Amino acid sequence: MNAAFPKKILIVEDSKLNAQIAADILNKYGYKTEIITSGEETVKKVVNSVQSPDLILMDIELRGTIDGIDTARIIQHHKDIPILFLTANASKEIMEKIKSVSAYGYVLKGVDEYVLISQIEMAFKLYEAKIQIKKREELFHSMFESHDVVMLLIEPESGRIIDANKAACHFYGYSKETMLQMDIEAVVGVSTIDGGQKCSEALKKGCNPCICFQRLANGEERLVEVYSSPVDYQGKTLMHLIIFDITEQWKAKRELEFYKNLFEDSLNEIYIFHPQTLKFIAVNGGAKKNLGYTEEEFKEMTPVDLKPEFTLQSFKELLAPLSKGEQKQIIFNTVHRRKDGSLYPVEVHLELIEFGKEKVYAALVIDITERRTMEKELKERNEILSTIMESAGDAIIMIDDKGNVTFWNPAAERILGYSREEIIGKELHALMIQDERLYEVYRKAFKRFRLTGKGNTVGKTIELKARHKNGYEIDVELSLSAVKIKDAWHAIGIIRDISERKRLEELLYHQSITDPLTNIYNRRFFMQMLEQEIERVKRNKKLFSLIMFDLDHFKKVNDRFGHAAGDMVLKSVADTVKERIRKTDCFARWGGEEFIILLPETSLNNAVDLAEELRKQISRIELQGIGDVTASFGVTEYRDTDTIDTVLIRVDNMLYEAKGAGRNCVKSCKFDIEGG
């Protein structure tokens, strides 16, 4: 990101707390942010402003008369600004709403900051790609329209003409309006000049070049050379045709081109030599170039002069089966010697053909230097590949179209426990899948794979459980691909043992949601759970309650006994509360000596009873050398009109009311219970 010109992100979120958390993260990564709480204010701000934000990060559910989806629709009608949605859930209904406004995706509320930043950066990249595509299309259309070469854009399937430039309209003799009502069949001939296929079909598929006759508006036919290539234009894949009129050139050069292509310009060496004297009658340009001799020098030479391993006698013996009519062709490998004395390998095709009233020998000679080099490189690559596959840390497995294992590297043996001798030629899944129902599902899927090379996991990387030979399960990552060998589909799987990674992921996740001192949930995770609970209440109407408590005079403990003693008090209190609350309750350290509990489907009265019980239990904790510890409690119940902010503010007020009432007591919105 350019620090001198930071990108501006407009955050639209009716929860000021959530909005500020997002803004703090974005500011940390160098973005400039602004917060707006309603859709109406956002529309007014963006549509009427000269300088628009670079991106809008917007909650779907907003206060006011329009939600985030309607806000996005209004903005997109006026300006092209990337919009990334914030949502508490990724239901099918929410996804359909997001798709309806061509948004740049969504971010779940409360995700890790790195996920948020990654989504923001991806949205910017997608937007930039969209802008570049638009510019390329505008440039293409400008070049297309103004070029003096005949050009057409056609739809590949139907052959309908989508666009025609000025040169095309002039060449065919139709107006542009008429051209756009036609398809390619209306202007091309019946078949390509070689008669291989219909012109229209050849042009739809793409051929370079395609030579065919085309009809003009006046009925005249012209021979054209057409070059076609697919282009992505305005969201569609079209066929771009460039058309050259070669009628006159073709008439003049047809015979010359045929000879030139057949003989003179061949990249291979072609020789014609006398059946008795063996002297060369004609040699092509490829022979002259490869060997370095002039045409005059060739006239005094024979094939024996080029092939050091032959004598005149041995070469005539080689030709004998042709001269006697026993064979029509002889193919052999030898070496050719250039004029400078250097040698190179060749493959020679010899025939005896009729030339006028006599027979002559014709030799087609292919320089196989590159082939030999490729064969050597291929051999070396195969050796390298074999070494890599044998020494790879990941398991590499291949199964044939019957499901039997054909390749099993040492890493596969180490990860899955089966030796190569045990597994080669065996059906892999019969060994690995113990559940008969799952095995039957696999067999049905494999039948489809045998026919098409396709499957739900082909071309993807997935995580799954694999069974070791010894019976225990391991976490693995599987990358599966298909390859066709001799008309049969084979599967290649690369398996990586990710057991340690999964363990670390679980550990990191646990660390990301818990307080390291007390081993209870941290504030950030609690906020996610509270937001989810509010969404759940909106669906099932079963209310919840919150308890917030704070240790009384905790600073004196730290000042008098030290922070180690303070930490011990915090852990003891946390352990005491954890033993009493339900598994469905969410207990978190709110900050310092302050704690909070989310009680799903719990009334205010029951929450107050629990708070009083916890107050008493905390006051009875025995902490050697420190003395009694007490806590003040605030309790509240969720109301239909509440937001995250209002319910948290209310429970916090109750806590401070308890502190103001002398501490070591419980305060709620309806009544209080004094400490004993």
Q: Supply the residues annotated as catalytic.
A: 593
What is the C-alpha separation between 338 and 288, in angstroms, rounded? 10
What is the C-alpha separation between 121 and 84, in angstroms, rounded? 11
Concatenated DSSP letters of 573-597: HHHHHHHHS-TTSEEEEEETTEEEE
Q: Name beta bridge partners: 425.
A: none
**C-alpha distances out from residue 359 to 322, 323, 352, 362, Å:** 11, 9, 7, 10
Structure tokens at 171: 């060449």
Structure tokens at 423: 């597994």
Q: How many angstroms separate the most distant Cα atoms in the chain?
A: 131
Question: What are the E-state strand segments in 263-322?
Answer: 269-273, 280-283
Q: Length of the chain in residues, anyone?
A: 676
Other Cβ atoms within 10 Å of 439 Cβ, number? 13
Contacts of 400 (CB under 8 A, 6+ apart): 406, 488, 490
Query: For residue 116, which of 52, 21, 198, 46 has the smallest C-alpha distance?
Result: 21
553 backbone dihedrals φ, ψ, rounded to 5°: 55, 40
Q: Do residues 400 and 416 touch, judged by C-beta distance below 8 A?
A: no
* CA–CA–CA angle 118, 590, 613 (5° rounding): 140
Strands 631-637 and 545-551: antiparallel
Q: What is the identity of the amino acid at 225?
A: E
What is the C-alpha separation between 464 and 498, in angstroms, rounded? 10
Give, as one character, the DSSP assignment of residue 8.
E
Query: For residue 429, which of 401, 395, 405 has the smallest C-alpha distance?
Result: 405
What is the C-alpha separation between 410 and 423, in angstroms, rounded? 12
* Radius of gyration (C-alpha) of the chain in whole angstroms: 40
Concatenated DSSP letters of 381-396: HHHHHHHHHHH-SSEE
Stated as kind and residue range, the H or E segment containing 191 is: strand 188-192
What is the C-alpha separation between 182 and 178, in angstroms, rounded? 7
Strands 55-59 and 8-12: parallel
Q: Name beta bridge partners: 228.
A: 241
Question: What are the E-state strand segments in 161-299?
Answer: 161-164, 188-192, 210-215, 221-233, 236-245, 269-273, 280-283
Using the structure block, give the residue that is written with the tokens 């990860």: 415
Stated as kind and residue range, the H or E segment containing 570 is: helix 563-580
Q: What is the identity of the amino acid at 480?
A: L
Query: For residue 225, which of 240, 210, 241, 247 has the smallest C-alpha distance?
Result: 210
Give, as one character, the DSSP assignment of residue 411.
H
**C-alpha distances out from residue 416 to 99, 101, 380, 636, Å:** 43, 48, 30, 55
Query: For residue 12, which of 38, 33, 51, 46 has the smallest C-alpha distance?
Result: 38
Q: Could you give the 3-state DSSP secondary structure of residue 110? A: coil
